[in-house]
Structures are given as C-alpha cells and as structure tokens.
Structure 1
C-alpha cells in the first residue's frame, strides 16, 4: 500500500510563499516520493491501493504515448464506423444525401483522416460524410464572425478568423491536399478583403470555405410540415428573409422590396403562400412594413393567377366559367391555409356561396340533360 501525506494549512502557506515559481512534481514523482518516504512533510495519510496507483499512473502514460498519426486515427475510425453500422442497422454513412452517423465523439483530426481516406480504408460516402461534418464545424466556429462581418462590412476579420481556425489543425490535417487548398484560398480572401472593405471578396476559388459558408442557405431555414404553428412559420420566414439580407450585404448591397429602390430585389420564389400570408399577419411583430407590403403584393398576384386557372382550367380564358371552374375554385379555397384565408378575407360564407353556385350549375345541367 502507498500513502500520500496531506499538507497542513501552515505548511501550505509556507509552500505557496517560498516556492511559488517552482514547478509542481508529476504524479509519478509524487507516488515515488511517498513510496520511498522522501517527502519532508507528515500529516494525516490517505491510502491508495496498488490498483488505484497503477490506474492514475497509466492515465499519464496514455496521455504521453497516444498515437495520433493519420494511419492510427484511420484504423480506429474504421472500427468505429463498423460498430456504428452494426448498432444502427445501416450500411452507409450517407442516406438520402444526408449524414447518417453521429460524429460528435470524433476529433477533428479523425475526421480529416477519414475525409482524406487515409490508408485507403474508407468508402466515398464515409469520406463525404466526414468532410461534411468538418465543414459544419467550421461553419459553427465562424457563425458569430459572419454576423459581425455582415453588419460592419469588415470581412477581413472573418477571413482572419478562418485562417486562425485552419492553423489550429493537427499536423496530419495540414499535410492533406484539402487543408493546403483551403489555406491558400483563405489567404487570398484575406488579402482581398483587406484591400476592399464593405463586401465579401470574390476569390473565385471552389476551395474557399468562407465563400462556401456565405453561399450556404441559412441554418435556420427548414421545410415545415402542415402541422407547424403560425409562430414557427413566421420564424422560418424571418430566417429566409435574413438569409437574403445577409447575402445582399456580402455583395455590398441591401435587400429592397420594390422596383423603385436601388439594391437587391427580394426573391419570394422559395416562400409558399402560407409563409407570405404569415408575413402579412406579422404575428410576432418581426417584419418591417416594407416586407409586409412586398409579401402582400406577391400573395395577391399568386391568388389571382390561381383563381383564374381554377375558373378557366383548360381554355386559357376563351370560354365562360363552368361547373368545372366552380369546382376548381372550391378546391382552391379548401387548399388555403388559415393564414391565407385570414389575409384574403376568405370565410365560410365565401366557400358556401361557391358551393351553392356549383350545386345550382349542376342542377341546371342535369335538368337540361333530361330533355335531351
């Protein structure tokens, strides 16, 4: 058994005053001193078993001798992938174009080894998944810097942060072709950003991770299901607009909401009608008057086209409204979200009138048919 002496308060004070600059002994040295009785202090003793002593010593030995070469990381990652596939019941790291394994426990150095296919142990999907995770981690690290750059126009600081991040890589990652290409692209971007304040530099380099981040759709933008709440739709629409605002700033411009303004015109292509109606309703008071006006104009235009096509489904306006047109109009109303109906003033009375008209047309046609 080995004992470790506990210092008394007075001795601790003396030690802190007289040996403040002295390096602390290692665990192995402390254990050895206790075993040989060489320590000059004596006090209450705490007893460690041989198993405990060996465990603590092994922790230092492991930390000092861990092999982090790409080959070793690759071998360990291969075992990890195989275990993941077995436990998850899958056979690939990518499913439906999405990463299907959780890389959160894997180090950046390991991801680099997989992405670069160290030792030729990984499939293309595994390397692609690892590369995607590396880009995601880079994006997360740069997120706050992107916000600052877009509000201040200081894109040089963003590229400097990217350079610092890349330089924190392991020696194994720095030896890869990907790291070298990204490092060169970031250095070029940093130089260009310093020379031109106010907008993101156009490096024209596909290896530029900053440009890839700035051109990526905002992380808050998702495709919502029909069960999403109005507040969730509003939050998503806000994120979609903010994404356009950010990209306009990257170009040294501003997002504008009517053709008379100078700047980058808002694009509602990816906004569904429910999102447009929710912007108009502005339930969480997060949209500006310009945004509300533009959304209302877009929604009105879409609704007019939808109703026209419902009334004249195949005739391109060359014939009168018919039974088929009335039915199409009812289907249009029924397909509207509650937010759309609220903005457009579509009520139960509206749909009831269309239904009554449809029934009248059907009755008249049936009556006329009986005389033929």
Structure 2
C-alpha cells in the first residue's frame, strides 16, 4: 500500500496546518455612486491595512513552500548523521532517528522527495512517520467504529484529518490518491452500515489500519509466560477486531448459531494452557473455557498417538514410559492445565515398575497384569 498521510503535525511550522494563506496586506474596495451613497459602482478606492512585524512574520511562515521545507530538512538529516554517526534514518526496516520534531508539512515534502534531495531510506522514514501519526490520530475512531458499527464515521474522521493538510501537501500525488481512496471508502461505508467496507483501492489508509489491527503474526518469538500471555491477548483482540469488521462478533461457544467462533489455530499449546489457567486475569471466563476445550481436544489427540505408537505394544509398562516422556516434553503451564502433577507421575512410574516385575524385568509383554494406565487419565 502507498504510505498514507501522517498525523497531527509537530513543531511550530506544523501548528498552522489547515489555515488559509493570506497576503501581507489586506485590501477592501468601496464603491460610490453619483449621490455619494455606497450603493453604486461609478468610482472605487482601496484602503490598505498595515500589519505589525509579528503578523508579517507569521504570514511569511504560512507561505513557506515545499522547496524551502525540503532544503531545511536536508540540512537536518545531514546534522543528524554527523551527530549520531549514522548514514541512514532506517535500521532493520524501522525508523532509527527521532523525527518527532519534524512538522507534518516537512515530512510530506520529504516523502514526496521534493527537488530529489533525499535518499530512498529518508523518503521511507518520512512516510513511516506520517503513517504512524495518521494511525495514532485515527486509533480512537477505530475503537468507536468497531463498537458502534459506524465505519462511515471512521472514514469521515480520516477525511477531516487529511483536509487539515497545507497547500503543499495537498498538491502531492500521495495526498491526492489517499484522499480519493478515503472518499471511495466513505461512500461504500454509507452503503453497507455496521461493517467495514470491502474496498479494493490500495491507497485506502483506513483499510490498511483495520487490517493491521486485526492481524497478529503467526510466528511469535515470545518465550516467557508473561510474553506469551501478552501475545495471546493480542491474538484474541485481533480476532475480535476482524469479526467486528465483518459485521459480526467473536464467540466462544461452539453451539452459538450466530457470531464467528474463535479459531485457535495460531495458538500454541503453551499459549492455550496459559489462557486456561488465566493466572493474571487477562482473559474472560468464556475465553478461558474455550481455550481449555481446545487444549483438551489436542491433548486427547496426542494421547491417542502416544498409545498407538508406544512400540506397538498395549501393555501398561510401555504405555507408562511413553506417557512419562510425553508429559515431560510439556511446559509447566501445559502440565498444570492438563492435570499432570507429581501424583500422576508417581503412579505412572509405579505402574511401569509393576509391569517390569510381572514381566520378569521386561515391560514389553502383552500379558502384563499391571493396572491399565487409562484409568489414571480419566
């Protein structure tokens, strides 16, 4: 997607966005008819209003053009590189320079590569900063839209935001294409209330924002329990957002006839276990129950695999060894959620020893009189 216009401007220059450019002198025309009344158009005169130095300076700032902004930005980048020792504002695909002090209009000039003064990385950094500011400004409206179904209001907020741009930004292809996409999205949203419009315009910043907040990467680098809980919470929130955007709701009871039933495909067993245990209270009771049901189903399937694959034998000793190995591969949370504890482990070990004794030191005999392990797992 083409990078969307950013958020509220930073700095003094950006504070004037949305203002109309004025001349340094205001003129008024009076017309006087032959009788002296101010109703005719036979003669005219012009009065000049003198402005203070402060007013002239303010209006001069209003008329700063993109070329001047770009030149100033070029000097800023060069100074930053000298100070930081870096040669690019990007690092591993992310903005590595603090660009919060740069105004919206200046960022727009950089993103448009005005006068070809900027490198590809500098253009990308400006675009990414504009995008983040746009996302931050629209985030509250996204929340409202998903809870009320008023996606037209969300697009209207985006249009209002874009319309605060200055004349230079409005002249860029980026602003023009983005504003057009927002208009198209607004029209579609009004035609299909209570759900996000299905737009096909790749320049639609709202469609991109909705998609971004309804997806979580399939692979997670989270390893600690706290990080996995945070990841699981984000995944559930993303699924709920996606359901709302489709005009429905995320549900956790498979018997419900309406709503989108939760899909735990992207959740690991450890993630499901932590949701089930819900030790930090970050999940609702229905979320925890649904996670437990999914984990139990996976657990039953894995046990069937263990029983069928324990050296082709059905005796208790072989099964006990396979089960001990199976459980010991689990995380602490998975063990707790699955009901595996030291008592069950001790019984499995005892069962294996009994099977070995009755089988003359071998647990491989199918004639073992040891108690079946199935009874321990009910």
Equivalence for 2:249: 254
Instruction: Show the counterpart of 1:197.
Output: 193
For the aligned residue pairs, the C-alpha RMSD in angstroms reads 4.0
For the residues of structure 2 that align with 1:60 and 1:355, how far apart are their CA atoms? 89
Q: Distance in 2 between matches of 1:306 and 1:155?
A: 44
Corresponding position of 1:239: 234
Note if 1:336 corresponds to 2:330: yes
Q: 1:26 to 1:181 in 2, by over 3 A?
A: closer
Inter-partner Cα distance in structure 2 for 1:288 and 1:79: 53
Alpha carbons 1:73, 1:113 under 8 Å: kept:
yes
For the 8 Å contact 2:155–2:182, the answer to whether it is kept is yes
Match of 1:163 in 2: 159
The structure-2 alpha-carbon separation of the partners of 1:329 and 1:68, relative to structure 1 and needing over 3 Å to count, comes to: farther
Identify if the C-alpha distance between structure 1 residues 284 and 105 changes in structure 2 by more than 3 Å, giving closer, same or farther.
Answer: same
How many Å separate the matches in 1 of 2:173 and 2:350?
Answer: 70
1:287 to 267, 283, 290: 283
Please give the TM-score of this superposition, normalised by the length of structure 2.
0.67
Distance 1:113 1:99, change over 3 A: same
Match status 1:345 vs 2:339: yes
Cα separation, 2, equivalents of 1:84 and 1:359 = 71
Structure 1, gaps ≥5 residues long? 1-24, 29-56
Number of aligned residue pairs: give it.
Answer: 309
Aligned to 1:22: none
Contact 1:311 1:326 (C-alpha < 8 Å) held by counterparts: no
> Which residue number corresponds to residue 119 of structure 1?
115
Write the distance in 1 (CA, Å) between the matches of 2:243 and 2:353. Answer: 52
- The farther-off stretch of 190-199 and 60-69 is 60-69
Distance 1:81 1:215, change over 3 A: same
**Farther-moved stretch of structure 1 (210-219 vs 141-150):** 210-219
Q: Flag the 1:355–1:141 CA change in 2: closer, same or farther, 3 A.
A: farther
3-state DSSP of counterpart to 2:212: coil
Indicate the residue corresponding to 1:300 in structure 2: 296
How many Å apart are 1:163 and its aligned residue? 0.4
Query: What is the alpha-carbon distance in structure 2 between the residues aligned to residue 93 and residue 105 of structure 1?
Result: 14
Residue 70 of structure 1 pairs with residue 66 of structure 2: yes
* Structure 2: stretches of 5+ with no match in the other structure: 1-49, 363-378
Deviation per CA, 1:198-231: give whole Å up to 9, x if none.
11111211111111111113599995643353xx
Q: Does 1:217 align with 2:213?
A: yes
Name the structure 1 match of 2:147: 151
Choose the corresponding residue for 1:94, options 90, 93, 96: 90
Q: CA deviation at 1:357?
A: 8.4
2:100 maps to which of 100, 104, 107: 104
